[in-house]
Structure 1
Amino acid sequence: MSISKYRAFIKVAESGSLTKAAKQLGYSQPGISHMVDSLETEMGFPLLIRNKDKIVPTENGKKVLYYCYQIIKNETYLQETVSAINGLLEGTISMGAYNSLMVGFLPHAVRNFSNVYPNIELHLREVACGEFHELLPRGELDLGFMVDSIPKGFSFIPLLRDSACVIMRRDHPFAPYEAISPTLLNGCNFIMPVPGYDDVVNTVLQKSPFFPKIKYYTASDVAAISMVANDLGISVISSLQVGLLPDDVISRPFQGAYGRSLGIAIKSLRHAPPVIKEFVRICKETAAQLQQAPLPEPPHDTR
């Protein structure tokens, strides 16, 4: 079976359209249709349901789709490994990360890597907590920057320890406190992070439940910080995001150990292509530097 047929099937399943898949892959629409028909013939059963409005995978097609992703991913890894053996480090890395890591860690790691390997393509996307358990097994991400609750069959590489922080205005009654007891938040006007995004607040709630007066929910930490700055309540963010705070908003640690281990979820570091191994190595170095002392802000692109 041809790799091109697997790619055609994947793109049709993802886009729901022969025309869109053909455009994305650079084929004609009849050419894509022929490849999918040929693949169905070789497998002996239909892979797609061709409805009037959209094309969707059959139940058998859904089962096959997972393995098609793996075949394409492994072919890419093979090509990158051969290039590395020939002395050419090349390839593309697809990554997903929590918002806190997108803000406080990955800009530094990506800068450090890109300074050495400017021709390697890095595809980075923000991912909610629950999405990793779908995206990583499907092969849509090479690396997941997340907590240690990883999908089955994956390995976890710890990078750094992240703490939960309370943020408030400088004139808030809690501002004089050096550290905040969770019980102190009972009844306070509170801006609650939407569950399932970057659940640093759960590191506190699971160990020491508190019961604030929830005034607002937000999936954006930047929005939460802005609402705190406008005296709409207090909130909890990752210590990695403290650098985002404006002058009129301060952070305070909790009393006690409330935090989480953040790192990299990967299928297999041992069998990963050289370019991914090198990126992981630089991530470890960057994390060690960040734990020792705050890193300077990544330079702004003024072009």
Structure 2
Amino acid sequence: MNIRQLTYFVRLAETGNFTRAAEQLHIAQPALSIAIKKLESQLELPLFHRNDRKVVLTHEGDILLEHARLILQQMEDAKIAMAELKGLEKGEVRLGLPSMLGSYFFPDILMDFKSQYPNLKLTIVEAGTQSIRKMLLNGELDLGIIHNADVPDSLATEHLITSQMVAVASEGSPLSQQETISFNDFFKHELVMFKQGYFHREFIDEVCHQYQLTPRIAFETNLLPMILKIVRNDFAITALLEMVTQHEKGLAPIPFSQPIFLDIAIAWRKNGYLSVADRAFMEFVKKHCQ
């Protein structure tokens, strides 16, 4: 018993006539008759009472009709579901974003993507690079935006943008007049920093380790608005992606004497399944970044 046979059977049951059923199915009447006889032979049950003008379902045919209609409907539902996915009419993208990129670089991308694919769901999780890596590996996220360094072998990445990390002080700070700042001078100041796990903090910790420096961390928070307010009020300085200072007033970016550029990438599990929606989002982001 196959889908074609069930389709023929249901159409004949609904029309009650071989000629009309064959016309609607766009097949020859003898072919329909052969298909129905083969189905009855396979089931070893009579499905129709036949006479010259009309065919009527037997009791066995009535029972099969109920199941056949359900099977055909499920097949149609499956086709529609697959077609909708191909057309990106359904689906979800679960994306991990660090705070700075989520606040300043990705909002326009996300809104443009949603405008193009209004029926897709975007689930955004704000987290640091380390947390995003773990959530990707655990299957909690499909895609993540991370600093492309020390990436686990089980993750694949593709470069998106290169962004400079700069020291950030208030516009009224004497530091704002400097063209550059050394690491030694930077770490002499009180700092407001993200907690460990964010690429912003990874950068600071790596510099301290490399140059054997000890940071004076006065404030530690993952709340970017709080970091910005502390810096604007000249309570501490920090290090942020330069794009932040391009959007925020009252801040002065000071490049480091040894420039720091971060490779920002989109990541996913190498052995994980990427849905049509996930792949569409990746392509959309890559085109935007180009």
User: Kindly tell me: are residues 212 and 88 of structure 1, through their superposed partners in 2, closer, same or farther at Cα, counting changes over 3 Å?
Assistant: closer
User: Which residue does the alignment assign to 1:111?
Assistant: 111
User: Which residue does the alignment assign to 1:173?
Assistant: 174
User: Kindly tell me: are residues 206 and 97 of structure 1, through their superposed partners in 2, closer, same or farther at Cα, counting changes over 3 Å?
Assistant: farther
**Deviation digits for residues 219-257 of structure 1 (CA, Å, limit 9, x no counterpart):** 2222111111112121111223224523x3211111223
Deviation at 1:203, TM superposition (A): 5.8
CA distance in structure 2 between the aligned counterparts of 1:79 and 1:141, rounded to whole angstroms: 27
User: Which residue does the alignment assign to 1:242?
Assistant: 245
Q: 2:268 aligns with which of 262, 266, 269?
A: 266
Deviation at 1:181, TM superposition (A): 1.5
User: Kindly tell me: are residues 81 and 256 of structure 1, through their superposed partners in 2, closer, same or farther at Cα, counting changes over 3 Å?
Assistant: farther
Any stretches of 5+ residues in structure 1 without a counterpart?
Answer: 1-77, 289-303
Greater C-alpha radius of gyration = 2
Structure 1 contact 136–151 (Cα < 8 Å) conserved: no
Question: Aligned letter for 2:110?
Answer: V
- The root-mean-square deviation of aligned C-alpha atoms, in Å, is 2.8
Structure 1 contact 162–238 (Cα < 8 Å) conserved: yes
User: Kindly tell me: are residues 286 and 203 of structure 1, through their superposed partners in 2, closer, same or farther at Cα, counting changes over 3 Å?
Assistant: farther
SS at 1:175's partner residue?
A: helix
Aligned length: 210
Structure 2 contact 88–276 (Cα < 8 Å) conserved: no
Structure 2 contact 85–91 (Cα < 8 Å) conserved: no
**Deviation digits for residues 117-174 of structure 1 (CA, Å, limit 9, x no counterpart):** 1111110010223222431122111101111233432210110112211111222121
User: Which residue does the alignment assign to 2:227?
Assistant: 224
SS at 1:257's partner residue?
A: strand
User: Which residue does the alignment assign to 1:201?
Assistant: 204
Deviation at 1:85, TM superposition (A): 7.2
CA distance in structure 2 between the aligned counterparts of 1:269 and 1:160, rounded to whole angstroms: 24
User: Kindly tell me: are residues 137 and 79 of structure 1, through their superposed partners in 2, closer, same or farther at Cα, counting changes over 3 Å?
Assistant: farther
Structure 1 contact 96–141 (Cα < 8 Å) conserved: yes
Question: Aligned letter for 1:135?
Answer: M
Any stretches of 5+ residues in structure 2 without a counterpart?
Answer: 1-77
User: Which residue does the alignment assign to 1:139?
Assistant: 139
Structure 1 contact 164–201 (Cα < 8 Å) conserved: no
Question: Aligned letter for 1:190?
Answer: L
User: Which residue does the alignment assign to 1:162?
Assistant: 163
TM-score (norm 1): 0.61
Structure 1 contact 94–143 (Cα < 8 Å) conserved: yes
User: Kindly tell me: are residues 183 and 88 of structure 1, through their superposed partners in 2, closer, same or farther at Cα, counting changes over 3 Å?
Assistant: closer
CA distance in structure 2 between the aligned counterparts of 1:110 and 1:80, rounded to whole angstroms: 26
Structure 2 contact 158–265 (Cα < 8 Å) conserved: yes
Q: 2:288 aligns with which of 261, 286, 289?
A: 286
Are 1:183 and 2:165 an aligned pair?
no
Structure 1 contact 169–231 (Cα < 8 Å) conserved: yes
CA distance in structure 2 between the aligned counterparts of 1:197 and 1:81, rounded to whole angstroms: 39
TM-score (norm 2): 0.64
Are 1:213 and 2:216 an aligned pair?
yes
Structure 2 contact 88–120 (Cα < 8 Å) conserved: no
SS at 2:135's partner residue?
A: helix
User: Kindly tell me: are residues 138 and 161 of structure 1, through their superposed partners in 2, closer, same or farther at Cα, counting changes over 3 Å?
Assistant: same
Question: Aligned letter for 1:238?
Answer: L
Deviation at 1:283, TM superposition (A): 0.5
Deviation at 1:211, TM superposition (A): 3.7
Map 1:69-80 → 2, pairs under 5 A: none
Deviation at 1:116, TM superposition (A): 1.0
Q: Higher helix fraction: Structure 1 or Structure 2?
A: 2
Structure 1 contact 108–286 (Cα < 8 Å) conserved: no
Question: Aligned letter for 1:277?
Answer: R
